[in-house]
Amino acid sequence: MECSKSVGEQLEPLGFKIKQIPVGHTFLTLEAKNENSPLGIESSGHLILPEFFLFDDALVIPMRIAEIIEKTKRKLSELVDEIPVYPLTKEEVECDDELKFKVIDVLKDQLLKEYENVNTMDGIRVELEKGWVLIRASNTSPLIRLTAEADNGQILNDIVNMFKNKLDKVIKRL
């Protein structure tokens, strides 16, 4: 739910199917196992190769990277430079534990009416023409987290401001 759009841009042309799943390492490993995935990655930095283990492995991952370098005859820096890095931000909005899930439900209903491409699997992810935003209640703190990514910094600021305003209005209304 929280991965950069550059993941799809890089892997889909290679034949990989990108599947969004709820945030969390547990969901990553379960989904990788159930789908027999060749690769599982999460924005927090978890990367698993299920053919070896269903958890991050400090030896297997670098060895696979070395294999790619050997096959392509290119430097790691050259390969990395080809991957676009989009501006991303993570923000927290304080919200009482008793209220935060109700806020998400009300905001979800609103955003489903306003936008075509909305994923409500784990919070609310809205896909926009030049970016995306994910709004989800924290399971451990009295917070609602807003994560956004965009093609450039100005668009990112616009997205964050727009969705923080929508979120603030719902919180005040409830």
Residue 140 CA to its chain's centroid (Å):
19
Residues 103 and 145 in one domain: yes
pLDDT at residue 138, rounded to an integer: 95
Q: Which domain holds residue 73?
A: 5-81
Using DSSP bridges, classify how beta strands 47-48 and 88-94 pair: parallel, antiparallel or unpaired: unpaired
Rounded to an integer, the average pLDDT of 3-18 is 90
Q: 41: domain CATH number?
A: 3.40.120.10
Q: Which of 101, 86, 171 is nearest to 133 (CA)?
A: 86
Interval 12-42: pLDDT, tens: 999 988 888 887 878 888 888 888 888 888 8
For 97, the enclosing helix (H) or strand (E) is: helix 97-114
pLDDT at residue 55, rounded to an integer: 75
Question: Which 8-state DSSP code applies to residue 13?
Answer: G
Interval 61-88: pLDDT, tens: 899 999 999 999 999 999 999 999 999 9
Interaxial angle between packed helices 153-173 and 97-114, expressed in degrees from 0 to 180 and rounded to the nearest 10: 120
Please tell me which residue, 50 or 132, carries the higher pLDDT value. 132
Does residue 145 register a pLDDT over 90? yes
Residue where a domain stops, chosen among 81, 105, 126: 81
Residues 38 and 111 in one domain: no
Q: 144: domain CATH number?
A: 3.30.310.50
Indicate the average pLDDT of the chain.
Answer: 92
Residues 73 and 145 in one domain: no
CA atoms within 13 A on the CB side of 96: 6
Give me the number of domains the chain comprises.
2
Rounded to an integer, the average pLDDT of 158-168 is 98
pLDDT at residue 96, rounded to an integer: 97
Residues 106 and 154 in one domain: yes
Q: What is the pTM of this model?
A: 0.86
